[in-house]
Structure formats: C-alpha cells, structure tokens
Structure 1
C-alpha cells in the first residue's frame, strides 16, 4: 500500500507545534504515512513560491498550503493540515472517509471567531468558509485541482483560494467536525462519544504560546509534547 501523503504547514515560530502534530499522527497511525512540512523558505528556493507577504497572513503557510496537489505531483489523495493540530485518533479512519467523487473534502465549519487577535498577536480575520482550508483532503488528480498551479497560488486572491472558488459546491465533500475540532468553538456533548475530538485544532493559539497555555485541551497537547521530547532525547542517546 502506498504511503498516505500528509503535508503539514510549517512556521519557524511554531516549530514545536509542527513536531507535536507530526508525532501525534505517526503515534496513532496504523497505515504507512509520509509527512512533509511545507516550508516557505524551501518553496522559494525551489521557485514554487514567490508571493509577497500579505498584511493578513498569520502564518508562513497561509497561501503555500494550496500547493499541496502540486507537491503530490497531482496524483492520488493527499492531506494538508495546519501545524496547530493534535491527533487523538488513527489517521486511517480519516483516510477511509475518502470519496473519489469529490475534488476536496474538509470539515465545513460555520465559524465566526470572537477574538480580535490569535496566536502571538496576529490579526484575526473573518470570512466565509473560515477554517475549511486548515485541514483538507485533496483529490490531487482531480481535473479541477489542476488549476492549483504555482502561478495560481502565487497570484490568486485569498478569497479565491481559502473559499475554494475554483470548485463547485458539490465538488467539496464534508467530513465530521471531530476531525477539525476547533478549541474554544466546538463542544463535547456529555454521553455522546461522536462529539469527542479525533483531531484538536488550536486555531486561536495553543499551549506553546504563553497567552494560550491554559486553553481547553492544553493538558493533552502538553502530554504529547513531553512524549515527543522524551522520544527525541532517547533517539539522540541511542
């Protein structure tokens, strides 16, 4: 079986978030997974990304995320996910939700943030389909996704990209919200296991930022961070 390709948004300010996200995916996975960080510096060096920084960009992967089909050679299915996720379930369960009739699949949030800022003081913007692009399963070989060339990703508007305007509504498949469970927005319903997160998205800011060290589910992220750091230390000493 071919490796399931996962591309994780990377920002140097959130290196530990990336490492913990990666660790949480691999720890639970029962299928072979290939995880690649989307690093803007490497994309620029390779001539795939030349876009000037936008005033509303809160991370280095705000736009580069849409290179996922290109990075997967426009073949098969691949996932993009922000680095501020913590996976609590086997990614095979997510992969098994794939339906070939769709060009992309994602959690279709109806989300309006209450905060004016997020993470380390970045401006919080509000727009339709907010957070849909934070975790996407891409049908990379779908003809419609051939639109996502480096030229398009570097020149199209944020609205065109983040709202999936290259697609018709019926080409966007829906995934249960528990796979992109927004900390501070989505709720766990007591006695309803279907509401418990399979992947927590610390979209306002996670415990790696001082201002968010006491956010909901901070304990789970800190536990995963400690596991990652302990395993990294063992790997160095062995």
Structure 2
C-alpha cells in the first residue's frame, strides 16, 4: 500500500468559531496516542475565493449549504479531489475524541471495488469517520463543481453509497463509536459524541460564544448526555490539552458569518442517547 508521508486528517468544523473546544480536544487526542506525523486540514466555509471551501451564499457562488445539517456536511465528498486523487485521507467530524493510535485506522485495508473504509451497520453507513482511497474514488464521486453548486449533492452521494454497498470496506472496530454504544471506555477507539443536543463541548462553547456576542450553529434543544463518565472523559482531555499548551485561540479564524442550513428545532438525536419509549399495544396496532 502506498502511503503519504504524514497521516492526513480532514476535519469538518464550524466557520464561526463555535467548535474551538472540539477542535482542540480532537487535535490533542490524536497526538496523544500516536508518534506518526499527522497533518490536520480543518474544513471550514471561507469567504476567500481562492479557498477550496469558498462560499458566497448571497452571490450564489461556491458551496451551497442550504440542505446541510451541519456547516460541513458535504465537504467529505470533496476530499479525494482536494488530494488530487492521490494517496489516502481520513475524514472525521469535529466532535471526536481519539482514544487509540490513528495509525491503525490509516492502514485499514480498502480492497476490491471499495473506495472508502467506513462503519456499516444493517442498512446504515456512517461516513462521519472514514478513510478514503483517493485514487479509487475518482470514477465514483461527483466532480467538485457539482458537489459545490448542487444543493442536493450530499444527499445524492449518500444515496449512491447506500445503493452500492460494495463501495464500502466495513471496519469492524470502534473507530466511530457513536455516543458510547454501550461499550466500556477501554473498548472505544474513537468516541463520536454525535448527538448534537448532548455534546460535551456545549458547556464550554455556549457561554464562551454568548460572551463573544455570537450564536452557536446548533439551534436545537440542549440536554445532558446519558453517560456522565463520557462527559468526564471529554473534560479530562480538555484539561490535559490546556496543560499541554494547547489554546482555543490556536483554532480561531475570522468568522464567516451567516450561512443557510437546516434548522435543528425538531432534531431527535439518536437511539443511543434518546431511546424510544416502548410503544403501547394501541400504538402498535394502529402503527402510531
């Protein structure tokens, strides 16, 4: 397998400095567990026309985020072209705590027709932590121009992946452990605190950005996480990062400003953080 000199990790994050805490903890946790050189590329909407992530909503230029749930949902599909369809690249959302050597995920086999290694479960594929074989992806992914301008491009790519499961090399380890999934911390490789309403970083970021006169991009209801020991783990890594010399301002950029996206007013999280109540006999009979 041909490798890049450093592990390339592309991270989707907010362009208005709402995710600084997440970015710092992710950065620190990656380096805590590996001796391999790592290059992190923060994927954030930019007003710079020369940026790969350029967007000008008023002018209808660059990335169209109107139907995205996050400020970076569709960026993952552009990573292979960003890399000139060469080598490998890891993608992950910003809401991750790395608890194992990222080298193991980087080296994961991507064989046969597969273009990306990702988590699969039943009929669901999760590409919130995945490894691209950039050269193999070239003939499958939409061209960058369409990815940027078509407001449905993210949805189209997700539907394509679902229809062609042979494109996915399923990894069997917990490299995308969504909100704990009942696992002990020692068995988690990458903790993805995915439920946007229960994210551990909110208790730091919400007061900070309110003080700064801004608003968080998540506009849904904020709730406590059902596993306090995972919240404690985030706090531990947050403090360790600060003690190691990491600073929130290291990740701060000139704010992008407003951008169109889906609202989270009706956001329901996931079955792990918000298990559905047992249906009554009546509701089952009438499918309500």
TM tier, shorter chain?
0.7 to 0.9
Distance in 2, Cα, partners of 1:183 & 1:170: 27
1:133 partnered with 2:145:
no
Distance in 1, Cα, partners of 2:69 & 2:20: 15
1:213 Cα deviation after fit: 5.3
Quote the residue 1:123 is aligned against.
Answer: none
CA contact (8 A) 1:86 1:200 kept: yes
Quote the residue 2:155 is aligned against.
Answer: 159
Distance in 2, Cα, partners of 1:18 & 1:105: 23
1:42 Cα deviation after fit: 6.0
Query: Quick check: 14-23 or 42-51, which moved more?
Result: 42-51
Change in CA separation of 1:148 and 1:26 when aligned onto 2, cut-off 3 Å: farther
Aligned partner (choices 21, 24, 33) of residue 28 of structure 1: 33
- SS state at 1:29 partner: coil
CA contact (8 A) 1:69 1:148 kept: no
Query: Quick check: 19-28 or 207-216, which moved more?
Result: 207-216
1:9 partnered with 2:21:
no
Paired residues for 1:18-97 under 5 Å: 18-41=23-46, 45-46=50-51, 48-49=53-54, 50-55=62-67, 57-97=68-108
Which of the pair has more CA radius of gyration? 2
Gaps of 5+ in 1: 111-127
Q: State the Cα deviation string for residues 9-54 of structure 1 (Å, max 9, x = none).
A: 1113212101211211111113221111011116755265523332
- SS state at 1:80 partner: strand
CA contact (8 A) 1:10 1:38 kept: yes
CA contact (8 A) 1:77 1:140 kept: yes
Quote the residue 1:229 is aligned against.
Answer: 242
1:182 Cα deviation after fit: 0.6
CA contact (8 A) 1:81 1:135 kept: yes
Q: How many residues align?
A: 211
CA contact (8 A) 2:161 2:167 kept: no
Distance in 1, Cα, partners of 2:8 & 2:163: 22
Quote the residue 1:175 is aligned against.
Answer: 171
CA contact (8 A) 1:160 1:166 kept: no
CA contact (8 A) 1:6 1:34 kept: yes
Change in CA separation of 1:145 and 1:84 when aligned onto 2, cut-off 3 Å: farther
